Amino acid sequence: MAIFAAILCISAYISIPIPVPGAPHITLLNFVILLIALLFPLQQSFFIILVWMLLGVVGLPVFIGGGAGTGYLIGPWGGYTATFILVAVILPLIRGKKYNRIRYTLSAIAGALIIDILGMFWLMAQNHLNLQSAFLIGFVPFIPLDLVKSIVAAQIVPAFKNIIKN
């Protein structure tokens, strides 16, 4: 489990900024969040993501772009980050206990949508954007790649389960 918290720390640095001031970055972070939520039981999924978040809250630069502290979480991008805990709880509940490719894929897509929609609304509130602007800045740029990340995460779960068993 600790290795997945470390992978979360690294994945926050793999990011592509959107060329709009104040817009969130496209990162590998939500891919890893989805993978963790699909791979581990609810308690472990929650704990892994909570440990990563607490590392960031106490000041370690583990959030996107080396961000850290509570200021990051209440800032414009904090809504995306805060939803990771929610996804860590919801996905293990809706994916089922036994691996099913379609159910896991749909669960991962739902998780990505939760992150993007709630993050968009937080961005809208923090930056005083109208819904259309928030949608264009905080949702639309992420959907194509997030759908791909969701599908890939759901497909590689069996391979990771085999690795974790051994």
Sign of CA dihedral 44, 47, 51, 52: positive
Q: What is the pLDDT of residue 166?
A: 55
Q: What is the pLDDT of residue 90?
A: 97
Tens-binned pLDDT, residue by residue, of the chain (166 aa)? 789 999 999 998 888 887 777 677 888 999 999 999 999 999 999 999 999 999 999 999 999 888 899 999 999 889 999 999 999 999 999 999 999 999 999 999 999 999 999 999 999 999 999 999 999 999 998 999 999 999 999 999 999 999 887 5
Please tell me the distance from the alpha carbon of residue 5 to that of residue 166, in angstroms, as a whole number: 19
Q: What is the pLDDT of residue 164?
A: 85
Q: Which residue is it, tokens 């979360």?
A: 8
Please tell me the distance from the alpha carbon of residue 43 to that of residue 36, in angstroms, as a whole number: 11
What is the three-class DSSP state of 46?
helix
Q: Which two tokens stand for residue 51?
A: 């440990």
Task: Name residues whose C-beta falls within 8 Å of residue 49's C-beta, 6 or more positions apart in sequence.
Answer: 8, 33, 36, 37, 84, 85, 88
Q: Which two tokens stand for residue 54?
A: 């607490």
Q: What is the pLDDT of residue 45?
A: 97
> Beta strand 15-17 with 25-27: parallel, antiparallel or unpaired?
antiparallel
Please tell me the distance from the alpha carbon of residue 37 to that of residue 31, in angstroms, as a whole number: 10
pTM of the entire predicted model: 0.92
Please tell me the distance from the alpha carbon of residue 84 to that of residue 127, in angstroms, as a whole number: 21
Sign of CA dihedral 141, 76, 109, 63: positive
Please tell me the distance from the alpha carbon of residue 123 to that of residue 23, in angstroms, as a whole number: 8
